Amino acid sequence: MWLKLRLYLIMALMFAIVYAFVIFAASRIGITGFFIYGLIAAVILLLQYMIGPAMVEWSMRVKYVSEQEAPVLHRMVAELARDAGIPKPRVGIARIPIPNAFAFGRWESDGRVCVTEGIMNLLDQKELRAVLGHEISHLKHRDVAVITMISVIPMICWYIAWSTMLSGDRERGNYVLVGVAALVIYMLTNLLVLYVSRIREYYADEGAVKLGNGPQHLASALYKLVYGSARIPKDSLKQIEGMKAFFASDPSRAGTEIKELSQIDLDRSGTIDARELMLLQTRPIKVSTTDRILELWSTHPNMLRRIQRLSSLHGVSAY
């Protein structure tokens, strides 16, 4: 409930900021000029939204598999989709070594859930099902559409800042003032979009548990994804830099996160069991100031804090 409330408050704050900026910009450069920028940004974002799946498939080297080719994967996805009350998404395998999973699609009936080659031999079946539950929850909550919708706000502000500050108009003073304001609001709303993205990750974790997955299985899976990503060469990580927001975990932060996660893998087994997870309800965790600051600019929550939150999800009711 608190996650939903935070999301609604952030959305209300974003639109309040935009409303105030529209009033300010319209008084300086005219309402027509402002809406031209808004229309351009909206068209670009709509095109990106429509061709987005094809771009993801190409960059991740996705191959869709049949039930005969991947029966276990299909069975898990079908069961999770049924329990979530959504159509069964297409099932694919991304031919990249980075261990992870992702979901995408333009609308509910267009959903696709993919796992990478790197994850198949890393997780056991309960852990894999928990990660797939996380991805199915993203589809159920229409997260791609939500993030796309709110991303138009900083995009509009960026276009306005870029064009008005370079304007040679005779009312240059007004244009520069609007440009500076747009730049400030761009940075602020971009941080808010990232914050919403992190909330959606927490929400998808909760959704995975509501689909019948034990919190310890998702916690252990996330830990293994971080551990596996930390061993991947940096060149491989650079190739998917623009797509990491789709992943269940951010592989580019794995090197730092694996050090923090050593706090909770008490028996050094490479997994997080139910006892270790339950201890996080009372044991304090240490997240450095640097990592707290870096989290502000990330699409994913700090993994240590994310796993700690999973410790509070025992007994969460099903959908």
- Residues catalogued as catalytic: 135
Residue 27 CB neighbours (<10 A) = 11
Fill in the DSSP letter of residue 247.
B
Q: Can you name the residues that pair with 190 across neighbouring β-strands? A: none
Backbone angles phi, psi at 4, to 5 degrees: -60, -45
Give the whole-angstrom CA distance, residue 294 versus residue 289: 9
Backbone angles phi, psi at 29, to 5 degrees: -120, 0
Q: Can you name the residues that pair with 91 across neighbouring β-strands? A: 113
Q: 289-296 and 254-261 are packed helices; what angle lies between their axes, rounded to 10 degrees? A: 140
Backbone angles phi, psi at 247, to 5 degrees: -75, 160
Residue 8 CB neighbours (<10 A) = 10
Calculate the CA 315 to chain-centre distance. 25
Strands 90-94, 101-104: pairing kind? unpaired
Residue 290, classified by CB atoms within 10 Å of its CB into exposed (0-12), middle (13-18) or buried (19+), is exposed
